[in-house]
Structure 1
């Protein structure tokens, strides 16, 4: 019978909290998601405009990317909630999923373009910049009108129109600028930089257009863009789950053995509190800190509960007065729980005050049992804190290193995974790993910066590899594009070299990888193409641009791989496109 009453109590609590949340100052996840979607693009547009014009520092660039990663992860969580809450959002679930995936693709593309532009600025490649700057400024002017403001559905439709117009004349504009560049007799390196810059800019323009079309389609209940097969694919390292499971097993096992051996009447409370605490703390980046905060909140709940139970409850009569006495504690707990730095205090206060101090239908005033139960709860939480600090703590170096390795292995995933829906899986998994690792390294800015730099190089090279794989998958049937052609073989050799480099980064593997990329570029340059070598029709020109960008990323002085290129730089090879 007690189990039935427990189910009734929980159900009634859920119904009451739902009714109050919907009636008193209601806040919905669907409204929060709309607001986040509208505001996100305005901030990103300003970020892109500043980047294209060279008005963004390295620190601002990194901070902005961290913010976009957090927003992408957060919006995925909101989307999964709004599907259940709002029928209108449920009908747009595919487009919301697609919108988040397209936003991640746009940020990756812009990061790649920004990396190339920064290298050109660093090398003072004025001749190249003179001829690519008009294209950059066109896009910057277009986005400037949408920067720093919410992108409504009507604004998105206007953005679609302007981007379509810009893309329509883009190839002719590129050919005109290339003709002007050729009059200056550029070197092969300058020509490659020009082609790669405009290839990345054209792809950025196309992906912005896809994003704007999807955003504008949200105005309709039904739309063809709802048919989206990709999805956000989270990635949790198996060591993270193993560590959380090991801590929970040790804590609950130790508490249970102690309870059995001592026959402590409050042992059940200790096991219950430790199980709840170890489960809740395992979802955070610092289980020890979370457990200590929950212990503090529980202690605060014990003090306030003791005062109310033994000094106030005996003197009141009726439900209104009971609510009046309980309300201050719940308000304080809700306030603490809504503050990220005090979340543990709020959880401990709300959960364990309700568990130990809210009167039952038959209230028993027993100070001995009351004090023992709260001592058991606090002891259980302190044991959880000790376990979080001793048993495979996730915010220690061993976990950063494994997540960093998992981040690098995403390049292997881009090379070897099936091509179907590879882009969205690669983007989401890489960002999810980065989000986890970055959170675990809170308070360690050098570690966070190193992880962020690895994310940039992984996304840039991985995205270029996926584009190369798509180009090869869509090649026309012609002997010039056959599998046995030297340039196709060189691409496969380069892929194996990249796998070795990102599994075990060192100077030897970097040198081998650069040699493989150089060889692939050479083979592509030597290959004969049966079609006109225009920007928008030449497969080999696009392949060469991607290869050049991969080489540029490997030699980026801001990349973590730069530490392994010292020997190569000392030997005289200093230009990324030499």
Structure 2
């Protein structure tokens, strides 16, 4: 279906749902039917599953907000300052939780925060009507979300399942290309950009999959399968970059011995051809394992033990075998996502019980955002109480709403500025309709007819993510100013006062955000980098209980978050050497070494403590571009020699991990030189 036609259908669905909500609300005699109309447009999403989940979370958030208002207002109605503080604190708490959640479920908590204000503040001077207002709000929201879900589900629904399967195919196709290029030794500039995009896409697939339980598709993949697919996708990136790093250290494919070069070429051909059978992957992985065994046997037979090139080759083919297996499993799982009805095979039967993906969380920024939104509400409330301003409730409400809507951005003020401008632009249009058109409307059919020229274009814009922030504030301002009810109640003085108060609330939110919350791209990048460094230190000190899958998942998400911020930071000197993929590999090797401590003894524990001290130097102000630590390098080489003397499977695992660790921490150091057996 062409995009223009799809957007047109979406707009028509939104308009039909809004008119249905308006008709039902008027038929039931509700006082504020425009709440239901606004809910339809705020809730509507192009994907049916996303719409249904958002509708549910909006309704639950409204119920929670209503409960909070019914709890706080009666208890504190005689102490306005304390009531203002309690409602602002509730808003801040809900926003804090929402920002830490980072899934579509976060909408529930954000709604709970500012719904309490929307219900409570207008009733503080008439608290006897609080319960009726709360019930009315819940009823209108329920009518709006049910109308939106009903219309968008019945009329040409767009399935999340279809879009998700298409996105998975696209991500795997991109991965096939840059994996094949990397194994062939071709270093295209686009590879780095594609890997950053891969990291962002992996998180997007995870978030999109959370909507599947609400989707319209008859057949949907099981949650266990989706989690397993995401696990394989996020493991591809560190494995591929590790293979590429070892290949670069060895001088490229042309510098490899013939059996190794042939394996690499065959692996590149398999990765680049999506039609190659996965049985070929099993053969390639077995060849890689045989090469590793031959390297181990050869090194064990020599008096001097394994050379640095031996270790690099061993690491290369161990990681290559793991990468091929991961890639093959991802292909097999993606086929089941694309066709959930296909018969189960051994790939599905062997799926482990995996936990949900871990995402990066920043409690510090969440707290700042919560404080900024709460502060905006308190400033408006203080002025309202001090001056007895009749429209003070409106200013406080909009300060809280706007302080919440863009709280997840590094710098919300450009969007807040745009919201303010679009709201101002909606006032003349609303005034024209309210005072020139609405007095002449007679009947519901005529009302729907005169609203269509405004609401249909707004609906088209809402279907475009880039234009949504242009349409939504104009739409909210337009319908909010019209305040369509059971009877016409247009008063010019009230219209001006309400819109003036709304503008004041938006301005207060903007000012408080700029004073408290703005960090910018460079500041956000530094926070992400410091969080990564602290996580690496915790792993090295054995304080972090995260597992390999959890760390990889969190760092893939961090990579996707960090890449655009580094690009926007303008080449800040302290960020010039930041490499999130290197830190991803570093964490993987540290976790692998931590698991080997019971076998390898105190040597690895001592090394991890030294690495923790080394990494702590990166937390210094200004972030040193390069930390010289000869003592740690010597400790690392000693650990390689110690592990090389072990007589168990831990020997191979330890040497592969230590080789990767040396490459990640000291990529420019001279080659490792083994001590002859019996020396020292």
Same fold (TM over 0.5): yes
> What is the aligned counterpart of 1:520 among 615, 639, 644?
639
1:409 to 513, 534, 549: 534
Alignment check: 8 A CA contact 2:422 2:474 kept: yes
2:151 corresponds in structure 1 to 20
Give the superposition deviation at 1:179. 9.6
1: CA distance, partners of 2:482 / 2:672? 68
Q: Is the 8 A contact 2:640 2:658 kept in 1?
A: yes
Alignment of 1:70-469 (within 5 A): 70-85=200-215, 92-121=222-251, 127-128=255-256, 132-146=260-274, 159-172=277-290, 188-218=307-337, 219=340, 220=342, 223-225=348-350, 227-395=352-520, 397-416=522-541, 422-438=547-563, 443-446=568-571, 450=575, 453-469=578-594
**Structure 2 CA distance for partners of 1:396 and 1:67, relative to 1, 3 Å:** closer
Kept in 2, the 8 Å contact 1:88–1:221? The answer is no
Q: CA deviation at 1:105?
A: 0.8
Is 1:545 the counterpart of 2:672? The answer is: no
Task: Check the 8 A contact 2:410/2:518 in 1, yes or no.
Answer: no
Are 1:9 and 2:140 matched, yes or no? yes
Contact 2:637 2:672 in 1 (8 A): no
Structure 1 residues 499 and 175: alpha-carbon distance in aligned structure 2, compared to 1, 3 A threshold: closer
Corresponding residue of 2:108: none
| Deviation of 1:227 (Å) | 4.9
What is the CA–CA distance in structure 1 between the aligned matches of 2:480 and 2:577, rounded to whole Å? 43
- 8 Å CA contact 1:500–1:509 kept in 2: the answer is no
- Cα distance in 2 between the residues matched to 1:60 and 1:126: 22
Structure 1 residue aligned with 2:182: 51
Measured in 1, the distance between the counterparts of 2:542 and 2:216 equals 35
Contact 1:293–1:345 (CA<8 Å) still a contact in 2? yes
Contact 2:247 2:253 (C-alpha < 8 Å) held by counterparts: no
1:227-278 per-position Cα deviation (integer Å, ceiling 9, x unaligned) = 5232211231121111101101210100111122222222222111111111
Distance 1:528 1:5 in 2: 73
Higher mean alpha-carbon deviation, 94-103 vs 506-515, is at: 506-515
Q: Distance in 2 between matches of 1:356 and 1:509?
A: 64
Q: How far apart are 1:41 and its partner, in Å?
A: 0.7
Aligned pairs, number: 529
Residue by residue over 1:67-106, the C-alpha shift from the partner in whole angstroms, topping out at 9 and shown as x without a partner, is: 1111111111111111233586766111101211221011
Q: Which residue of 2 aligns with 1:490?
A: 603
| RMSD, matched Cα | 3.3
SS across alignment from 1:461: helix
Q: For residues 216 and 380 of structure 1, do their structure 2 counterparts lie closer, same or farther at Cα, with a shift above 3 Å needed?
A: same
Query: Is residue 91–residue 221 contact of structure 1 (8 Å, CA) maintained in 2?
Result: no
Residues 194, 83 of structure 1: CA spacing in aligned structure 2 closer, same or farther, 3 A cutoff?
A: same
CA–CA distance in structure 2, aligned partners of residues 261 and 98 of structure 1: 58
CA offset at residue 46 of structure 1? 0.8
Q: Which has the higher mean CA deviation after the structures are superposed, 323-332 or 90-99?
A: 323-332
Q: Does the C-alpha gap of structure 1 residues 22 and 433 become closer, same or farther in structure 2, counting only changes over 3 Å?
A: same
Q: Are the aligned partners of 2:157 and 2:216 in contact in 1 as well (CA < 8 Å)?
A: no
- Distance in 2 of aligned mates of 1:244 and 1:441: 22
Query: 1:303/1:441 Cα in 2 relative to 1: closer, same or farther (>3 Å)?
Result: farther
Q: Cα 1:207–1:471, aligned 2, differ >3 Å: closer, same or farther?
A: farther
How much has 1:136 moved relative to structure 2?
Answer: 1.4
Q: How far is 1:509 from its partner?
A: 6.3
Please state how far the C-alpha of 1:34 moved relative to its aligned partner. 1.5
CA change 1:331–1:503 in 2 (3 A) is: farther
- The CA deviation at 1:189 is 2.3
Q: How big is the shift at 1:460?
A: 0.9
Distance verdict in 2 for CA 1:401–1:453, change over 3 Å: closer
**Cα distance in 1 between the residues matched to 2:530 and 2:585:** 17
Measured in 2, the distance between the counterparts of 1:140 and 1:37 equals 21
Q: Please, which moves more after superposition, 87-96 or 496-505?
A: 87-96
Q: 1:97 to 1:248 in 2, by over 3 A?
A: same
SS at match of 1:430: helix
Residue matched to 2:196: 66
Q: Secondary structure at the match of 1:504?
A: helix
Partners of 1:79 and 1:96 within 8 A in 2: yes
Q: Which moved more, 1:438-447 or 1:18-27?
A: 438-447
Deviation of 1:161 after TM superposition, in Å, equals 2.4
List alignment gaps of at least 5 residues for structure 1. Answer: 147-154, 474-480, 482-486, 532-537, 558-572
1:500 and 2:613 correspond = yes
Tell me the CA shift for residue 26 of structure 1.
1.9
Confirm or deny: 8 A CA contact 1:291 1:344 kept in the other structure. no
Aligned to 2:90: none
